[in-house]
A and B are shown apart, each in its own frame.
Chain A
Amino acid sequence: MVEKSSDKIIIHAANVDKWFGNFQALKGVSADITEGEVVVVLGPSGSGKSTFIRCINQLEEHEAGEIVVDGIEINDDSRNLQKIRSEVGMVFQQFNLFPHLTVLDNVALAPRKVKKMPKKDAEELAMAGLTRVGIPEQAIKFPTQLSGGQQQRVAIARALAMQPKIMLFDEPTSALDPEMIKEVLDVMRELAESGMTMIIVTHEMGFAREVADRFLFFAEGQIVEQGTPDHFFNNPQEDRTKLFLSQIL
């Protein structure tokens, strides 16, 4: 297990607002996340959890406030966006692989196209990633030939291939059959233990309690409560948090 001792703030969000038409998805959200920290984001549907992490790699543009990722502010400068995207890996609810590319090509794509890595090196890196997530033997298959759990592990390997400093997970197991959830959580657990900075939106409470350094609880676009797993599960302060926990535990 890698020591998580860094106090360096790697993600700084201050007073972030995000609107979808007339609906305000984020209302003045502020959070600092330190290097190596594993933060689990919880909250009811439509509370702004996914929007928050999508703003961190600018899949959604925030309208007000400030988001700084590893010293780079997210703004209209496309060079900043490029740098941030190379430092932030993301795994979605759906497996999000290119169906016409083999597993190996999916994983090697970004290193080749973005980092301009020679094909051989990119494929070696991709194989190392596939080995890390436990499916090197699937390299020459196409995504549709794999189970959901295997596809999600490929998606994790694909994100890791860019050697990101931060990994974002947006409900990575919610589209999986129950028997496939464990294999994905095992990979994420290993990643958390390796010292990777992770922000995870999930409803897998057992897993979250085990790996999280901190919880952020969202409701109606705001962070209502945050704290350690012990605080969150044993001593929640806010009525909204208590209600949520009573519904899901």
Chain B
Amino acid sequence: MDLISEILVTPFMQRALIGSLLLAILLGLFGVFIVPRKLGFMADGVSHASLLGIAVGIMFGGAPLMWAALVAACIGLVLARIEDNERLTLDSVVGIVLVGGMSSAVILMALTPGYKPELITYLFGSLLSISWNDIYLLIAFFVVTLFLFKIQWRTLVLTTVHGELSSVLGLPTSAAKYFLFVGTSVALIAGVKLLGVILISALLIIPFSAANQATRSLRGSLILTECLAIIGTITGIILSYVYDLPTGPAIALVFVALFLGCVIIGRIKSRPVLGPEHNH
């Protein structure tokens, strides 16, 4: 009880918990639509490439994450545009964007004089780096994104369940696709302070992947994804606080453990039940 009270009254932990809850819900939600479309690699590409925006922010001044969000939004737009291009596969473009963005960022940082301690924060995340201003911005982004989800929900579900059929039926899918790509990209950047550029994709990819081991229905996956996202993030933050561990890796490892747990549960559930004739 003492530990929980201590965490709840510590201002930076309050901010970390509020921020992580909002991020867990948002990225878990995006993950439900991104992972089944086999776009998980996009998360790594966008988050790594957005380091370019962070480097620009550090080099020229201004809020690095705003620059990163701008870079991520642009990448999201480009990826949405080329998703159906048969000559340019999405994974190859993501790879190119990742390499190009990170390389540019490293060169920019090398050209920037002086010690750059904040870079490590952006790479792996830190509890201490989250300010109340970050939380207010995150709340605004959260509300707008949920509103857009409400508008695009049905189309997102239909195109995720059966993309080709949605196309054949002529359903208007463009707006939902651009929302998914750009929204995911910006949401990833919103979580960079917590998990860092290197590990933020864990919050997008692992909760749904884990939930999908235990349930097959969309509704079941959605509920379980959100539960796992919240549990994993909060557990990781508490472990990070108690044992003084780097936040991003702590959260990411909790998610990996949850995923393995769900795989085991899924295997047990799918094991054929022996009938009475087998009970010798």
Contacts and interface: CB of A to CB of B under 8 A. Distances in A.
Interface string B162-195: 1011011111101000000000000000000000
Place the interface of chain A in its size category: 10 to 19
A82 B169 CA distance: 9
A90 B158 CA distance: 17
Contacts of B165: 96-98
A98 B156 CA distance: 13
Interface stretch (A42-50, A107-115, A210-218): A107-115
A120 interface: no
A103 B169 CA distance: 15
B86 interface: yes
A114 B170 CA distance: 6
A90 B217 CA distance: 26
B167 A85 contact: yes
A98 B158 contact: yes
Contact of A59 (B157, B161, B164, B171): B164
Given A61-B86, A113-B172, A114-B172, A96 B167 contact: no
Contacts of A90: 168
Contacts of B167: 59, 85
B86 A114 contact: no
Contact of A114 (B171, B217, B218): B171
Interface string B134-172: 000000000000000000000001100110110111111
Contacts of A78: 174
A185 B243 CA distance: 68
Interface in A75-108: 78, 82, 85-86, 90, 96-100
Contact of B218 (A85, A96, A100, A162): A100
Interface string B66-96: 0000000000000000000010000000000
Contact of B162 (A61, A85, A98, A110): A98
A59 B167 CA distance: 8
B72 to A, nearest CB: 25
A97 B171 CA distance: 14
Contacts of B218: 100
Contacts of B162: 96, 98
A57 interface: yes
Interface of A: 57, 59, 61, 78, 82, 85-86, 90, 96-100, 109-110, 113-114, 158, 162
7 contacts: A97-B165, A98-B158, A98-B161, A98-B165, A100-B218, A110-B170, A114-B171
Please give me the 5 A-B residue pairs with the lowest Cβ-Cβ distance, nearest first.
A85-B170, A110-B169, A114-B170, A96-B165, A90-B168
